[in-house]
Structure 1
Amino acid sequence: MTTLIKGALCYIGDGFQQMDVLIKDGKIDTLSTSISKNGVDAVIIAQDKYLVPGFVDVHVHLRQPGFSYKETIKTGTLAAAAGGYTAVCSMPNVNPVPDSLEGIKAQTDIIDRDAVINVYPFASITKGRQGKGETVDFNALKDIAVGFSDDGTGVQDDDVMLKAMTECEKAGKIISAHCEVNSLLHGGYIHDGEYCKEHHHKGICSASEYEQIERDCRLAKKTGVHYHVCHISTKESVDIIRKAKAGGVNVTCETGPHYLTMCDKDLQEDGRFKMNPPLRSEQDKQALLQGVLDGTIDVIATDHAPHSQEEKSKGLAGSAMGVVGLETAFGVLYTKLVKTGFIPLTKLIGMMSVKPRQIFDLPGGKIAEGEVADLALLDLDKKWSVNPDEFLSMGRATPFEGWQLCGKNVLTVCKGEIVYEAL
């Protein structure tokens, strides 16, 4: 099967050039200003559209095995393909926990059968993903796991994290840490800010996040491990990571589209606004945006976390933590950050396509002859409204419901195969 994409504005180097792209045997075969249609199986006319390396989301919950009433690997990867993603890293919040070769194989067997894009699973840091106790066998899991994470649980014990980082560094892998000090939570479920006080909710203090990041940066400096911080949300987190980078710590981090575009003033009494970490203050949002500008924040990841309608129908206090994001991420970020002139499109593509691959050592990320054909075609003029009823994901809870956006993925190619098309 050969596919020709004609006349797209291709992301090459750090800019865009109008080119034709011939795809053959899963790879970019030819890149030229004019390629003949003769003998080509499928031709896609792409004038005025932007062809970029497929997006990578390094923080996604596919829920299977164990929780397929929330999402499956099939529905989650279909949703990812619709959003322009050709690769996702699946978090270990599944059952069985991927804390052994047998545990992770329960997931990879389904991935091999059902995934429509590339899925790279995390193994847990601790046995049972408990955030304490015995650590996993990092060496045994290093060839099958993209990295190690106890996502959803912060590693509470300093000695456990020190051992984990030491062993992970020996294995040449990355620790991707959910940072949360349990003793500081006090039953909170939204940010401990103005909205929380005015509406008599229980708050989550910022220190519950940044104190563990501070500890981990010290341990990462001691061990030399590549330490990646999940979903940062506070101004203190940005400052700690910025200083750690300047001090030579091998640390990278991510934040989510909702933390860059919303704050606790935007909260409503609805479960679709409840996630962990929570939407923080306007000051925190501004600090995160500055972190994007100066490179402190490396990538944008959605923390796509689908739940059933019932689990998300109990308001801020009673609903499960987590929102979906794969199908809205590009539109939200392009509309709010690029269209407004805050960052250039090339910067956004770097954070969604290039840097995630560099950090997690994943293939692709370039439009060049011989490279894997993992691509997304973007229509920057496409205007659309966020309607959860149209999602391919089984999850429907999004804080962006009803938002009017500009910019949408219209074609996704993974390993040379068209896996999503809305031209």
Structure 2
Amino acid sequence: MSTLLKNASIFTKQGFRKQDVLISDHRVLFTDSIDNLTADTIDTVYDLNGLFMIPGFVDVHVHLREPGFSYKETIRTGTDAAAHGGYTAVCAMPNLKPAPSSLANLQPELEAIRKDALVHVYPYGTITEQQTGRGALGKMEEIAPYVIAYSDDGKGMQDEASMREAMQRAKRLDRMIVAHCEDERELVLGGCIHDGEYARLHHHIGINSASEWKQVERDVRLAAETGVRYHVCHISTKESVDIIREAKKDGTHVTGETGPHYLMFTDMDLQESGSWKMNPPIRSAEDRHALLEGIKDGTIDCIITDHAPHSAEEKSRGLDQASFGIVGLETCFPALYRNLVLRDPEHPASGKGAITLEKLIELMCVNPRQIFGIAGPQYIEDGVEADLTILDLDKVWTVDSTKFYSQGHSTLYDGMEVQGEVVKTFVGGREVYDREKGIER
């Protein structure tokens, strides 16, 4: 099958430019480089005038919940949601049952991916045997050929010696350590939101910033010692940004990510709803400022969703009792395009954005592929794999979580006006989502 995409503005190393593109044999071909292109050689033609073609989004921090928690999400529903959101590749966190710490434990997930994944799915293996941040390490060598990296996401590694050993083993295996940083010695039982002004005004137990940044500080030191490639999950504090910035200056192989909710909101935006509960929590205005500066200067490399679906009942218990986590695959780009590219969340009345569209694509497409070694295009070039997203940047629409493909519906954006809609998603040259027809399996 061959598909001709006419008049799109394509994303290149030099920025956007108009170019007709043929998708053939899973590849992108520029039409001006093809001899004897005739109607007989083309199966489908789309005129994309006014639309934008970019490499498919990549999310290196997604919870697909299968095996073990399929009442929250499955490989099928999670990757349908990813395609709807313009993602062509996701990395699946290991918060699963069984924990993917051995090949035997990993097999059910690999089988579900093979059977049901609509986009590329790269599983994480755990650092510890039970994915608890404590105890014996998993069979890292055994699972190395099958996993993108190692993480105990949801749990910080509590023992320094164990983290050092994990880094040493990951270094030998040429794999990354991807760390949820949370020092449990700093936590107070029952903490549910940032330990800041909102918590004090509304009598909630807070989660302090030191619980994150102290473990970032320790791990950066260990990464410098071991030489491992080290990636910090969902950065939320100004101290973490400062630590990572200095470590990069010193040549440590450290990268980091943050989520859209940390860039758009502060703790004073919170409401008494479980939809505002995630870990780490949305923090102060000072923290948000540091995160915005971090993405501008390259300290923070990626924007992820931390897509974490739960049942409606689990999210209905209010801030104190609800499960941690919200969904994000189907709203990330339009929320950020509206509130980061077209507007500045710190200065909403300025009429200027905080970053450019090109910078946002770098954070959501280019850098994740480079850092994690994920196949697929970083730019639209002649001959690259046809993992593509087509965007209508003029489309203004209102988020309605009842229309999500994800089984999770807890989001901060329900009823919010956003801008930028996914028109089509192609994976390996095959159209898997179209805004008129929906998911195409």
Q: TM-score, normalised by structure 2?
A: 0.94
For the residues of structure 1 that align with 2:279 and 2:14, how far apart are their CA atoms?
34
> Shift in Å at residue 263 of structure 1?
0.9
Q: Which amino acid aligns with 1:350?
A: E
1:388 equivalent to 2:377? Answer no
SS where residue 128 of structure 1 aligns? coil
> Shift in Å at residue 37 of structure 1?
4.5
Q: CA-to-partner distance for each residue in 1:371-410, whole Å, 9 max, x for gaps? A: 1100000100001011111111010000111111111111
Task: Structure 1: give runs of 5+ residues left out of the alignment.
Answer: none
> Shift in Å at residue 31 of structure 1?
4.5
> Across the two proteins, how many residue pairs are aligned to each other?
423
For the residues of structure 2 that align with 1:32 and 1:337, how far apart are their CA atoms?
35
1:349 equivalent to 2:361? Answer yes
Task: Structure 2: give runs of 5+ residues left out of the alignment.
Answer: 344-352, 437-441
Question: What pairs up with 1:8-407 in 2 under 5 angstroms?
Answer: 8-32=8-32, 37-187=39-189, 188-340=191-343, 341-364=353-376, 365-407=378-420
Q: CA-to-partner distance for each residue in 1:45-95, whole Å, 9 max, x for gaps? A: 111111000000000000001100000100000000000000000000011
> Shift in Å at residue 38 of structure 1?
4.3
Moved over 4 A (4+): 33-38
Q: CA-to-partner distance for each residue in 1:311-356, whole Å, 9 max, x for gaps? A: 0000000100000000000001111111122211111111100100
C-alpha contact (below 8 Å) 1:14/1:346 kept by paired residues = no
Tell me which moved more, 411-420 or 331-340.
331-340
For the residues of structure 2 that align with 1:44 and 1:154, how far apart are their CA atoms?
48
Q: CA-to-partner distance for each residue in 1:293-328, whole Å, 9 max, x for gaps? A: 100000000000000000000000010000000000
1:422 equivalent to 2:424? Answer no
Q: Which amino acid aligns with 2:219?
A: D
C-alpha contact (below 8 Å) 1:138/1:167 kept by paired residues = yes
C-alpha contact (below 8 Å) 2:101/2:140 kept by paired residues = no
For the residues of structure 2 that align with 1:28 and 1:213, how far apart are their CA atoms?
40
For the residues of structure 2 that align with 1:33 and 1:186, how far apart are their CA atoms?
63
Tell me which moved more, 399-408 or 64-73.
399-408
> Shift in Å at residue 9 of structure 1?
0.2
Alignment CA distance shift 1:385-1:393 (3 Å): same
Cα root mean square deviation, aligned:
1.2
Q: Which amino acid aligns with 1:411?
A: K
For the residues of structure 1 that align with 2:140 and 2:313, how far apart are their CA atoms?
37
SS where residue 242 of structure 2 aligns? helix
Alignment CA distance shift 1:6-1:193 (3 Å): same
Q: CA-to-partner distance for each residue in 1:143-191, whole Å, 9 max, x for gaps? A: 1100000000000000000000000001001000000011211121100
Q: Which amino acid aligns with 1:216?
A: D
Q: How many percent of aligned residue pairs carry the same amino acid?
A: 52
The aligned counterpart of 1:2 is: 2
Q: Which amino acid aligns with 2:366?
A: V
For the residues of structure 1 that align with 2:288 and 2:420, how far apart are their CA atoms?
23
SS where residue 149 of structure 2 aligns? coil
